Structure 1
Amino acid sequence: MKIEQIYTGCLAQGAYYIVSENEAAIIDPLREVKPYLDRLEKDNVTLKYIFETHFHADFVSGHLDLSKKTGAPIVYGPTAAPEFEAIIAEDSQIFEIGKIKIKVLHTPGHTMESSTYLLIDENGTETAIFTGDTLFLGDVGRPDLAQKATNLTQEDLAGILYDSLQDKIMPLSDSITVYPAHGAGSACGKNMQKETVDTLGNQKRTNYALNQPDKASFIKEVLDGLTAPPKYFGMNVAMNKSGYESLDVVMDKGLHPVDAEDFEALAEETGALILDTRGAADFHKGFIPNSINIGLKGDFAPWVGTLIVDVKHPLLLVTDEGTEEEVITRLSRVGFDNVAGYLKGGFEAWKNAGKETDEIKRITPAEFAEQFTENARIIDVRKLTEYSAEHIENAYNRPLDTISDWARSIDDSEHFFLHCAGGYRSMIAASILNSHGIRNFTEVEGGFNGIKKTGKLPTTDFVCQSKTS
């Protein structure tokens, strides 16, 4: 028997590849299925089942393409109602893969169809659980995503999740390995550990959600500090439930090089958003006016989903040459399939064609320290928890994920400085503000981490944050 966790850092997502003898199962596959097909061919095994723990909100699963390419059926837990052919399992139903068995444990609460898959090895020993978004390491799945679909409140769903954990998970052996669908950085929970595998016994000891004295306490603690989910989540759920275009088709359409003249015309004709995926260090020196910068080397896909929101909005890409396929793949993971093409030759081709360009004023932390005064206006775009832990005195906190709410209220008549933790998010914010005509600001390279190292600016006392959001 072999269990492989296939972890994707930018989504903080774990898919699982399980082999026994000449058969395999895959749990919660990502949109691009070639890595799974390569593994199946290398191991000379047949994919017998594709298990989905629930209808995912934060990414588009590869279940449909994988099923079409292998013939393997898709399996969901009880109450799931996908708009395509699938096996809807019963609670406690057993599926055999080679000499091992997968037992379905219906664990509603995160969503009503959410299920945990219990692996029973060739000796009949309960060995591992694949918990999806029911149980994370250090946390449990947020119970507020399925409210509209169920006509239940988040309190109702939290109570259902409590019962699922108490009835189905807690009675299992401490020695069982826990394989969750997500880790730290995912918006599907608020307090996840950086580790991606643990024993159930350790989670029983250390996971705050599993150590509440009663249901009422559990509901209160799980809901406490829960921020609004990203707005693209509902669109991803719809795609996972109703279906989507094959990634092969999406790739063929998006991998379309467009020269500068046609790129400009296409942007005007279609109203496409120009997404520049270069790093902040290159973007600020020159970019196409009104383009938005979300660097590929970062939490690219989640930020695209959070800030652009509408998965159907047409996109035109400006990339580092050679990264076009990776960009389109990562966009597809969160459902952004409507890529109309990319700028042939990258930004240099645009500049060489004599087209209009724009810039963002960026300074180093040392330069910021020199320009700083007590009356300086500073906007910190980090999360509230980061800001609360420590920040520059008198700085305003305006989290990047809510920029659509606060951008238009900015007073552009007075200069301000803009920073995040390391420069990735602040350049995203800078590009968005610039696209709204807000230009009287300076972005600080290296963010708060660099600013603090100068030792020259007044900051609040550090406060350890026990929970992140």
Structure 2
Amino acid sequence: MKVEQIYTGCLAEAAYYIESNGEAAIIDPLRETQPYIDRAARNGATIKYILETHFHADFVSGHQELAAKTGATIVFGPTATPGYDAHVAQDGEVLKLGNVTIKVLHTPGHTMESATYLLQDENGKDHAIFTGDTLFIGDVGRPDLVQKLKAEITPELLAGLLYDSLRQKIMPLADDIIIYPGHGAGSACGKHMSKETTDTLRNQKTFNYALRTDMTRDEFIKEVTTGLVAPPQYFPYNVLMNVQGGMPDIEEVIKRGTMPLPPAEFQLVWDHEEALVIDTRRKEAYANSFIPGSIFIGLDDNFAPWVGTLVSNLRQPILLVADEDRVEEAVVRLSRVGYDNSIGYLKGGICAWKEAGYRTDSVEEVSPDVFASLYRVDKQINLLDVRRESEYRTQHLEGAVSFPLDFINQHMSELDKSKEYYLHCAGGYRSLITASILQSRGYNRIVNIKDGFKGLVGTGLPLTAFEEQRSML
């Protein structure tokens, strides 16, 4: 028996490869399917099952394409209603895979159809559970995502079901069983996920707040429904894509998205298609020189989730400015969250753009030390903290205004274009995204603080916990 976790850090997502005696199962595959096919081929195995723990909200699954290429059976938990051929398993149903078995446990709570897959080894001993978004390391799945699609399924209803699922289906299992979750820290599918991506049930019973044996159902419901921020806007759209199916083949998406466009053609396509230009280069390169009107979302961080959070239309035509050896990576990562309409990239990059006589712009930046000197002279300086509200509440600079990047589209009009604003996040990535968006919308007095809060803490400026925000106007 072979079990392999395939972890994708930029999405904080875990897929799984299980193999026994020439047969393999893939759990929660990403959009690009060839790596799973190649892995099975190297081992001389046939992919028999594609097991989906639920209809995912944070990424588009590759289950349909993988099934079409391999003949494998797609399996969902009870109550699932996919719009394509799949096996909807019964609670307790056993699937045979080589010399091992996989038992389907219906564990509603994150979603109604959520399933946990119990792997039993060659001797019939319970070995591991693949919990999807039902149970994470240090947390459980949030119960508020389904309501975006079905208002009658409330977070409180799902939280109660999740309590029952954990205590009736998972906690009675052997303490030495291994937990393989669907996500790790950084995912928006939970609140307090650990950086660890696997653990034993024994440890989670000790350290995971949601598995406390003395926790009542009402206490659990209150705990898991408190402090939830609005999910990224693309989540409901990804759910529908995963339910309905019919996505284009990833190869076609890549072919269209990696079309090289010389500067004049790039400009022509930009105008004609009303495209969004996303610059994916390193943040230092973007700040130094960028195409006016483009926005920065760099590949060296949580690229796809931030695109999904900020770009409301999944069908928006997208043009890329990227290092040529990373264009395909950008297109693939966009497709993972349902953005299939990449239509090309700037051939030759910014150098070719300049050589063709087109204008560039830059982002004004200061070091934390320089900002500290300015702040000590003028404590009324307009400072926007673009981290998440929870980060701001934990600790922030005195006088800073919370202006989370997550909700920039809702709150941008609260800013005054005649005023100067200094921006910071935790390390400089999110604040540069914010600066690029504001500058593209005509806010021209924007200054980014390099190294973010991490750098500002070292300057000795006064820090505080949550306080009433002062007006940005």
Aligned to 1:332: 335
User: What one-letter code is carried by the residue in structure 2 that aligns with 1:246?
Assistant: D
Aligned to 1:236: 238
Q: 1:461 to 1:311 in 2, by over 3 A?
A: closer
Secondary structure (helix, strand or coil) at the match of 1:48 reads: strand
The Cα offsets for residues 317-365 of structure 1, whole Å up to 9 and x where unpaired, read as 1001211010001111101100111111111111111112221111111
Deviation for aligned residue 1:461: 6.3
Secondary structure (helix, strand or coil) at the match of 2:419 reads: coil
Aligned to 1:466: none
CA distance in 1, matches of 2:197, 2:333: 21
CA distance in 2, matches of 1:141, 1:389: 23
TM-score of the pair, normalised by structure 2? 0.96
Secondary structure (helix, strand or coil) at the match of 1:322 reads: helix
Out of 393, 398, 401, the residue aligned to residue 396 of structure 1 is 401
1:127-138 map, 5 Å: 127-138=127-138
Aligned to 2:286: 283
Aligned to 1:322: 325
Aligned to 2:441: 436
Does structure 2 retain, via aligned residues, the 8 Å contact 1:423–1:447? yes
- Say if 2:459 is the partner of 1:458: no
1:68-467 map, 5 Å: 68-147=68-147, 148-149=149-150, 151-211=152-212, 213-243=215-245, 244-372=247-375, 373-455=378-460, 457-460=461-464
User: What one-letter code is carried by the residue in structure 2 that aligns with 1:355?
Assistant: Y
Secondary structure (helix, strand or coil) at the match of 2:227 reads: coil
Secondary structure (helix, strand or coil) at the match of 1:341 reads: strand
Secondary structure (helix, strand or coil) at the match of 1:327 reads: helix
Deviation for aligned residue 1:12: 0.5
Does structure 1 retain, via aligned residues, the 8 Å contact 2:392–2:466? no
Does structure 2 retain, via aligned residues, the 8 Å contact 1:24–1:46? yes
Does structure 2 retain, via aligned residues, the 8 Å contact 1:67–1:73? yes
> Tell me, which stretches of 5 or more residues in structure 1 are unaligned?
464-469
Secondary structure (helix, strand or coil) at the match of 2:131 reads: strand
CA distance in 2, matches of 1:461, 1:357: 40
> Tell me, which stretches of 5 or more residues in structure 2 are unaligned?
468-473
Deviation for aligned residue 1:141: 0.6
Does structure 2 retain, via aligned residues, the 8 Å contact 1:139–1:208? yes
CA distance in 1, matches of 2:270, 2:28: 36
Does structure 2 retain, via aligned residues, the 8 Å contact 1:108–1:161? yes
The Cα offsets for residues 42-82 of structure 1, whole Å up to 9 and x where unpaired, read as 11111110000000000011111111111111000111111
| Between 272-281 and 359-368, the greater mean CA deviation after superposition | 359-368
TM-score of the pair, normalised by structure 1? 0.97
User: What one-letter code is carried by the residue in structure 1 that aligns with 2:287?
Assistant: H
Does structure 1 retain, via aligned residues, the 8 Å contact 2:439–2:446? no
User: What one-letter code is carried by the residue in structure 2 that aligns with 1:76?
Assistant: F
Aligned to 2:471: none
User: What one-letter code is carried by the residue in structure 2 that aligns with 1:104?
Assistant: V
The Cα offsets for residues 108-134 of structure 1, whole Å up to 9 and x where unpaired, read as 111111000000100010110000001
**Aligned-pair RMSD on alpha carbons?**
1.3
Aligned length: 462
CA distance in 2, matches of 1:14, 1:249: 25
Deviation for aligned residue 1:367: 1.8
Deviation for aligned residue 1:441: 2.0
The Cα offsets for residues 199-244 of structure 1, whole Å up to 9 and x where unpaired, read as 1111111111111521111000001101111110011111111111
Deviation for aligned residue 1:371: 2.2
CA distance in 1, matches of 2:429, 2:355: 27
- Say if 2:36 is the partner of 1:20: no
User: What one-letter code is carried by the residue in structure 1 that aligns with 2:351?
Assistant: E
User: What one-letter code is carried by the residue in structure 2 that aligns with 1:199?
Assistant: T
The Cα offsets for residues 407-430 of structure 1, whole Å up to 9 and x where unpaired, read as 122012221211101100000000
Secondary structure (helix, strand or coil) at the match of 1:149 reads: coil
Does structure 2 retain, via aligned residues, the 8 Å contact 1:408–1:436? no
Does structure 2 retain, via aligned residues, the 8 Å contact 1:232–1:305? yes
Secondary structure (helix, strand or coil) at the match of 1:7 reads: strand
CA distance in 1, matches of 2:210, 2:37: 37
CA distance in 2, matches of 1:437, 1:403: 14
CA distance in 1, matches of 2:270, 2:466: 46
Secondary structure (helix, strand or coil) at the match of 1:11 reads: coil
CA distance in 2, matches of 1:375, 1:112: 50
Deviation for aligned residue 1:150: 6.6
Percent identity, please.
55
User: What one-letter code is carried by the residue in structure 2 that aligns with 1:443?
Assistant: N
Deviation for aligned residue 1:264: 0.6
The Cα offsets for residues 10-42 of structure 1, whole Å up to 9 and x where unpaired, read as 111000001111111110011111211111111
CA distance in 1, matches of 2:436, 2:354: 18
Deviation for aligned residue 1:190: 0.3
CA distance in 1, matches of 2:119, 2:200: 14
